[in-house]
Amino acid sequence: MLIHQRTIKQPVSISGIGLHTGVTTTMTLRPAPIDYGIRFRRVDLPGQPEIPALVDHVVEVARGTTLKIGDAKVHTVEHVLAAMVGMQIDNIVIELDNIEPPICDGSAKPFVDALLKAEFEVQDAPKDCLIISETVRFTNEKDGVEIVALPTDDYRVTVLIDYQNPALGSQHTGLFDLEKEFVQEFASARTFCFLHEVEALHAQGLIKGGNIDNAIVIADQDLTDANLKRISKKLGLNQALVIGMNGTMNNKELRFKNEPARHKLLDLMGDLALIGAPIRAQILAARPGHASNVEFAKKIRKLYQQQRLVKKYQFEKKEGVIFDSNALLKILPHRYPFIMVDKIIEFKLDERIVGVKNVSSNDWFFQGHFPGRPIMPGVLICEAMAQTGGVLLLNGLENPEGKLAMFTSINNCKFRKPVVPGDQLLLEVTVQSRRSKIALMKARAFVNSELVAEADFSAAIVDRTETNGNQH
């Protein structure tokens, strides 16, 4: 895989109809600068709004992946994005003058051909890759879906499909060398559906631009000529439908024996582009679909955001430490003598964090609490838990330096056992719920695995220029 970021040298355009909306769209691919990412730009809307190709902006996954910000929306982005991943494009503007990219022949090859025509430009910056260091798993038992990312130093994808339909059966495929295999073996794999789905999809307002030239229709039921004519008329097709001897409508010749599986791999590549960074991983997927792909992409993107934040604040790698005291000074607004957490040893973005406070006889509060029998004040244990929670909340933001976690309430606070010099407080905080700028958290403090204090906190995330209330 490439080391440096990549864009294209010159603009290139493609026109055609959208698969689901049926609208005619001209799509123009344009070069973009370093660290710009992949963005869709709706040039037909006022202000030409852009939608970054990120899973945060996914709003629909019905037979395709749809992105939206405000009034700007783009349907069926997965084939275009698969081409970007396959050709290792990091920075590009995808201009559209309508709501859906052209479906072309139902594959990613027309977009690959356009990229090749535009030629590539290597940029003077390294790729910001996400390296999977431990297994990440997504499971949907109801639909029999399982997707796993395993550590490796390359990009590999394996897909198994099984629709429990005798017209298709089980198929599998795998991509093991992106540069050698993608263009020849996967880019031209076309989208598909079953004959029994066609009328239902049309009734849902989908496949308005679909026909047998831009999709493979698998003949999984016997219909009379009259029924086939009725379906053809309803879809507005200019040609008659017949059930082919090879199992596809109108004897559509497959480009690969396992073309449906290859297209599912293509879809998966496109959906995982929404992570927002190239990944180094072995992806294994059983029965994937857009909904499961997007949920998996959300998990991986959160891991990517976490890795970026750790790199941003923790310059020196230390075994067993996520953020050391120097990193915490960059994250938290507190300063001596009110820093109540020494390091972070576990961190799961916007979910869970574990901090450590080493309690020393040198701590200033022991001078008066209490002479002759030093005990850490319960309110400062709460402060230590709150500061740890503040790290968790602020690191879930794009610009934590400009924000404060202001705690608005403490509930169900209990102190189980005194904390004295020589103890090491283990501070565990989990997010119970989070809506916009408000979060509810549960915090617990341990000494030698014994619970010494616990409390429920609520906090508001505000700009640092706002100073009313208690700041943590």
Indicate the burial class of 178 (C-beta count within 10 angstroms; 0-12, 13-18, 19 or more). Answer: buried
CA–CA separation, 306 vs 282, rounded Å?
20
- Round the average pLDDT of the chain to a whole number and report it: 92
Residue 337 has pLDDT above 80, yes or no: yes
Question: 290 an active-site residue?
Answer: yes
Of 172, 202, 334, 369, which residue is the catalytic one? 369
pLDDT tens for each residue of 393-419: 877 666 666 778 889 999 999 999 999
Average pLDDT over residues 176-202: 91
> For residue 209, what are its two tokens?
């631009």
Alpha-helical (H) ranges within 334-439 are 378-394
Of 75, 263, 290, 472, which residue is the catalytic one? 290
CA–CA separation, 145 vs 147, rounded Å?
7
Strand segments, DSSP code E, in 293-395 are: 343-348, 352-358
Given this model, what pLDDT does residue 468 score? 46
Residue 471 has pLDDT above 50, yes or no: no
Strand segments, DSSP code E, in 373-437 are: 403-415, 424-435
Pair 271, 297: CB distance under 8 Å: yes
Phi, psi of 97 (to 5 degrees): -105, 20
Report helix, strand or coil for 161: strand
Pair 425, 381: CB distance under 8 Å: yes
148 vs 175, 260, 266, 267, 298, CA distance in Å? 15, 20, 16, 16, 13
pTM: 0.85
Given this model, what pLDDT does residue 469 score? 44
290 vs 59, 295, 298, CA distance in Å? 12, 9, 12
Given this model, what pLDDT does residue 470 score? 46
Average pLDDT over residues 240-259: 83
CA–CA separation, 137 vs 155, rounded Å?
17
Chain CA centroid to CA 396, Å: 14
pLDDT tens for each residue of 366-383: 999 999 999 999 999 999
> For residue 254, what are its two tokens?
């497959």
Q: How confident is the model at residue 427 (pLDDT cuts 50, 70, 90)?
A: very high
Pair 306, 347: CB distance under 8 Å: yes
Domains of the chain in start order, with CATH, are: 4-190+260-310 (3.30.230.20), 192-254 (no CATH), 314-463 (3.10.129.10)
In 3D space, the residue among 47, 26, 173, 38 whose CA is nearest the CA of residue 96 turns out to be 26
Asked if the peptide bond before residue 256 counts as cis, ω within 30 degrees of 0, the response is no
Given this model, what pLDDT does residue 252 score? 85
Chain CA centroid to CA 196, Å: 32
Q: Which helix (H) or strand (E) holds 30?
A: strand 24-31
pLDDT tens for each residue of 113-163: 999 999 999 999 999 999 999 999 999 999 999 999 999 999 999 999 998
Question: 263 an active-site residue?
Answer: no
